Structure 1
Amino acid sequence: MHLATNLRAALLFLLGLTACAAAPGPAAEAPYLLGVHIAETARPADFLEQLDRAAELGARAVRVPVDWAALEPDQKGRLDAAYLNEVRDRFLRAERLGLAAVLLLSQSPAWANGNAEPPYPPKPEHYADFADALVRLVEAVGPERIAAVEVWNEPNSIEFWGYVKPREGTYVLVPLGYAREYAALLNAAYDAMKRRFPELPVLGGSLASADTAYLDAMLAAAARFDHLAVHPYAGPDEREGPHYGRAQYPDQCNEEDPLTPPWCFEQGLRGLRAFLDARGRAETELWITEFGVGSSAEWGDAGSEAEQAKHLRIALGLLNGGLARELRIPVALWYRLRDEGEDRFGLYREDGRLKPAGAAFKELAP
């Protein structure tokens, strides 16, 4: 069997869906693949080196972002051969390292989005072009090297859906009407993938926070997907006290603040699971394709490297302790492997030194 088939068989086993009993040890307690998101890099070899570092930390899965604007920059049908080779090399390296690779395609080219910036979504008349690019990409990489494909990144966030005016009562979430647009894009990709690669899972949502309202709007628009990609980030704690402005811990949720509940880790995941179960989608898994917290002292980050490590320990303690099995979470990917610029979410510092969170990741990786 190829890697993707092996991954799906392993996930079925770990989730208790086979007739065999789970073996004792960490995998039985934490039935999921822990991994990392690796960001796009200017130097192709750098991405490959980061894959090596991820494997050294004990990662078993990786999220590989692919930029549609770089893949098909000038016109429909003309793929950039050099970039395509770089992407293929990423998946080949992940395969050699035994990493289950989630392929994320997002960032539309100017010809597809009305000459806007790449975070803007494509125009509706180009949804089929996005789907075609995804299928051609999977063909080039090889479906046997892909664990799942993820359609767009955080479409419920204004940052990745055209910087529209935020939904009333939120900071960054898009108005719910835009879920219809995303559902149409998702359905175009889903249908194209199932015609060509019916066994390859398609992840929809890629939700920033546990945004059940947006998910409800997606389902109302008849969105088609196999499993739900989620990013259960924790929001800042706005209660007076020493933790004011810092990210809430993964086992916390300030339900008194109406802006907070979507931005919770454990409670957010539980809310998404309950929402799906109530709508007859108990078989839909929650794939955590991003989670984490920054180590900076900025609003909403952990405040220090030591605090970042504490957040990671709590999150992995929850997942390893039974949350992954209970909520049907087969994959959890920390955002991100390495710090870059002002972004301090990494497990490594920008100079390559391991952070306390990285040491905790290696210690607790199931």
Structure 2
Amino acid sequence: MLVSVLVVAACAAGVVALTGGGSATSRTPDDGGIGASPSSATAQSEKHDRTHNLRFGLSYGDTLTWMTDAQLNKAMQDAKELGVHWLRVDLSWRNIQPDSPTQYLWDRFDRVVAAARAQHLEILATLSYTPRWAGDPSCARSQTCPPANNARFAEFARHAAERYASQGVHTWEIWNEPNIQKFWLTGPSIERYTGLLTATSKAIRSVDPDAYLLLGGLAAVETIPSKQYVSHKTFLEGLAREGALKQVDAISYHPYTYPLLPSTETATGTRFQDIDRTPDSLVSTLERYGEPDMPVWLTETGAPTWSGGRAADSTDAQGTSHVTPRLQAEIATDTVPAAAAKPSVGAVFWFGYRDGSPQSASDRKSQFYGLAYYDGTRKPAFEAFGKAISAYKATAK
């Protein structure tokens, strides 16, 4: 629970090293390299190549599964046009087994996998979100409630890996933002998430030994007890002390920096600087715990636009929660070289593809990170992100 996590924060500065960490072999997803068509996504048992071969993706959340066939095909075509090779998609336990442990509704996710394969795109499946029958009794009505029983979640993950390995899915992210109460409703717990991660990792690898596993994406936040936030740096430090790095091949991180550009550096450090430039950076933690070559996947980053209120149109704007389409495009352009400048970064995913419906938005800001508006009209950021990816590929060959 949160109390034990905050104890870790107090102790972290005194920790020098701990032997161990990392899976038995460090794997690299075989995605065919820059600009190449992928073979299967089977991970190779080899050391991570620190020579940069940056992967690009779009993070869709739980949207592709609900699209019509025409919408889904359009989404795949847009991904190809952008030059991204990876699609981060929620594989929600709540969607697959909504009513009972004996029920499996795979059809919607099957469609997504088939559509991606048809376009030679790779899937990063995010395993998350609990059905009511399986949640912690204190919060079971919400999908972000952690499971009451880790073994049940791990069994779901095993079935998913067994089903989709033969269809080319071998890359998995285990939960989303477990360091904030919004996505771990009982309050962030290093010990409890480590238990879930360990059980799930073992279950997946029991049916797909070469699976490539990512830590659940860490929200870039400060530790704020009143909000039940635990900082990404404190949470990773605690996970490393618990041995969680032994269960994964890469860590996942969500460094939203808006209205600042990702490449901006400040005296106090930004979310992007926290990757490898601050004294207690994520990479420095990996190094202290014996994993200097473990990649950092940026499985979400971006900036929201919104027509209501005052939107930031410059990087020095204060007191705004969203940006203008012009500034979003500037951030999209800057994201690629900023990520490429960090040798530890293995992948960068823009969140998201298309805005949600303004009428159904329960969290206004979260609905407007798209590269396109709800009606499909592209924002300037669509072209900007695509051009930045193309420029990177041209110089990386």
Tell me the TM-score normalised to structure 2 length.
Answer: 0.73
Is 1:217 the counterpart of 2:232? The answer is no
Distance 1:44 1:269 in 2: 41
Distance 2:103 2:39 in 1: 28
Is 1:197 the counterpart of 2:208? The answer is yes
Corresponding residue for 1:317? 337
How far 1:52 sits from its partner (Å)? 2.4
Distance 1:255 1:301 in 2: 22
1:4–1:283 CA distance, 2 compared to 1 (3 A): farther
Is 1:264 the counterpart of 2:256? The answer is no
Alpha carbons 1:57, 1:361 under 8 Å: kept? yes
Q: Secondary structure at the match of 1:149?
A: strand
How far 1:49 sits from its partner (Å)? 3.0
Instruction: Identify the match of residue 219 of structure 2 among 193, 201, 208.
Output: 208
Distance 1:108 1:4 in 2: 33
Unaligned runs of 5+ in 1: 17-29, 165-173, 235-245
Alpha carbons 1:68, 1:109 under 8 Å: kept? yes
Corresponding residue for 1:358? 382
Q: Let me know the Cα RMSD of the aligned residues.
A: 2.6
Matched residue type, 1:211: H
Report the identity percentage: 23
Matched residue type, 2:252: A
Instruction: Identify the match of residue 182 of structure 1 among 165, 180, 193.
Output: 193
Alpha carbons 1:338, 1:345 under 8 Å: kept? yes
Alpha carbons 1:31, 1:330 under 8 Å: kept? yes
Alpha carbons 1:14, 1:32 under 8 Å: kept? no
Instruction: Identify the match of residue 136 of structure 1 among 151, 156, 159.
Output: 159
User: Which protein has the bigger helix share?
Assistant: 1
Corresponding residue for 1:250? 262
Q: Secondary structure at the match of 1:353?
A: coil
How far 1:147 sits from its partner (Å)? 4.2
Tell me the TM-score normalised to structure 1 length.
Answer: 0.79
How far 1:267 sits from its partner (Å)? 3.6
1:269–1:300 CA distance, 2 compared to 1 (3 A): farther
Corresponding residue for 1:19? none
1:269–1:289 CA distance, 2 compared to 1 (3 A): farther
Residue pairs, 1:116-131, within 5 angstroms:
116-123=141-148, 126-131=149-154
Instruction: Identify the match of residue 349 of structure 2 among 333, 346, 353.
Output: 333
Unaligned runs of 5+ in 2: 1-29, 32-37, 221-230, 313-318, 359-363
Distance 1:14 1:356 in 2: 34
Is 1:70 the counterpart of 2:95? The answer is yes
1:7–1:52 CA distance, 2 compared to 1 (3 A): farther
Corresponding residue for 2:168? 145
Distance 2:199 2:243 in 1: 12
1:44–1:189 CA distance, 2 compared to 1 (3 A): farther
Distance 2:321 2:117 in 1: 33
| Residue deviations 1:5-60 (CA, integer Å, cap 9, x gap) | 55746x979744xxxxxxxxxxxxx6211110113233343344322221121111
Distance 2:73 2:199 in 1: 31
How far 1:143 sits from its partner (Å)? 4.7
Distance 1:188 1:351 in 2: 41
Is 1:285 the counterpart of 2:295? The answer is yes
Q: Secondary structure at the match of 2:89?
A: strand
